[in-house]
Amino acid sequence: MPKTVFGRDYPFLPRQEILTYEEIVRLARLFAAQGVAKIRLTGGEPLLRQDIEHLIEQLAAISGIELTLTTNGSLLAQRAQGLRDAGLQRVTVSLDALDDAVFKRMNDAEYPVAKVLAGIEAAAACGLTPVKINMVVKRGANDNQILPLARHFRGSGHILRFIEYMDAGNANGWRMDEVMPSAEVIKLIDAEHPLAAADPNYTGEVAERWRYRDGSGEIGVISSVTQAFCSTCTRIRLSTDGQLYTCLFANTGHDLRQLLRTGASDEALTAAIARLWQTRDARYSELRSADTVAPRKIEMSYIGG
Ligand SMILES: C[S@@+](CC[C@H](N)C(=O)[O-])C[C@H]1O[C@@H](n2cnc3c(N)ncnc32)[C@H](O)[C@@H]1O
């Protein structure tokens, strides 16, 4: 969320426009009943939401759900144990550089890398494991941090993942020549620490897994630009104001808040969700590869990564 846009004077949504925890949990139960097996809290920054531990407690009580959270890590050191106690199972932490200057250039953050590293260690210490660490690789901006991050996390038990820089939203001024293909990342690391391809954990896994041949752990690459995975994508995203998005690159959502607040029954909500899911045809990343011009897209800060 660039400060130039989302500064102190930005008119953020009034509280009544965002879903209450009760509304989120009601929807989560309905999704779980339809076969959703994993819920990820993302954002924006989820640890800025007041008392998110209360939401986690209620979501964790839904049977059959794996519950995870993606965070920038800035508040994780002091919150990790509380998140774990509330029933969170794992965390993914975004970290685009080990070097403070590069880190600040990438995301204009007000906190040092050391704070994120402390958050990662605190999360691991209280069992939010395996901790996954997401590095978005932007050529010419932080590609010199690939090896330092790989060296840092090799042997730690944490799983470092390299994400191709995506044209999410419209605000980041994305250019194709800033995308460093995952194949190049793998080649670079393999030259220093030999790698072998590992089998996916499950069909449709977004990250392609690689393990260090010397047994010192694994890394992942997420190649949504050079190897679009729309055909196996099973994700659906709910925004904080109750819009449902069937694609990370969607330009419009589907309004569940309206249904929730006009007395729709569980059956009616379930039917609406099922209809959206069954008729979805979004496959933006595949079309992008075919040079289709994209319409205006939702910013990633509304619907997470
Ligand atoms: C949008 S963030 C939201 C959650 C949380 N605030 C955080 O920083 O992790 C979710 C993930 O999307 C990744 N991301 C953001 N912009 C991206 C882009 N243009 N291409 C690829 N990944 C991106 C982030 O690095 C992060 O791992």
- Who lines ligand 1 at CB under 6 A? 42-45, 70-72, 94, 134, 136, 163, 165-166, 168, 172, 300, 304-305
Q: Which residues of the chain have pLDDT under 70?
A: 289-295
Quote the pLDDT of residue 285: 79
Distance CA 65, CA 63 (A): 6
The verdict on residue 2 lying in a domain is: no
Quote the pLDDT of residue 38: 97
The verdict on residue 221 lying in a domain is: yes
Distance 200 CA to ligand 1 centre (A): 22
Quote the pLDDT of residue 84: 98
Could you tell me the two tokens for 47?
A: 């640890």
pLDDT, tens digit (0-9, with 9 covering 90-100), for 267-280: 999 999 999 999 98
Q: Are 37 and 65 in contact (CB under 8 A)?
A: yes
The verdict on residue 167 lying in a domain is: yes
Q: Name the domain count of the chain.
A: 1
Atom 8 of ligand 1: nearest residue by CA position = 72
Quote the pLDDT of residue 299: 82
pLDDT, tens digit (0-9, with 9 covering 90-100), for 71-124: 999 999 999 999 999 999 999 999 999 999 999 999 988 899 999 999 999 999
Atom of ligand 1 nearest to the CA of 172: 19
The verdict on residue 117 lying in a domain is: yes
Atom 27 of ligand 1: nearest residue by CA position = 94
pTM attached to this predicted model: 0.94
Atom 5 of ligand 1: nearest residue by CA position = 71
Long-range contacts of 178-182 (CB under 8 A, 24+ apart): 178/138, 178/139, 178/140, 178/141, 179/139, 179/225, 179/226, 180/137, 180/138, 180/139, 180/143, 181/223, 181/225, 181/226, 182/208, 182/221, 182/222, 182/223, 182/226, 182/227
The dihedrals phi and psi of 202, each to the nearest 5 degrees, come to: -160, 160
Quote the pLDDT of residue 291: 55
Nearest Cα to Cα of residue 151 among 95, 119, 189, 182: 189
The verdict on residue 5 lying in a domain is: no
The CATH number assigned to the domain holding 77 equals 3.20.20.70
Distance 191 CA to ligand 1 centre (A): 28
Residue range of the domain that includes 254: 15-303
The verdict on residue 193 lying in a domain is: yes
The verdict on residue 7 lying in a domain is: no
Quote the pLDDT of residue 149: 98
Q: Are 290 and 254 in contact (CB under 8 A)?
A: no
Of 49, 110, 136, 170, the one to substitute when testing ligand 1's pocket (max ligand atoms within 8 A of C-beta) is 136
The verdict on residue 120 lying in a domain is: yes
What sign has the CA pseudo-torsion 29, 31, 33, 35? Answer: negative
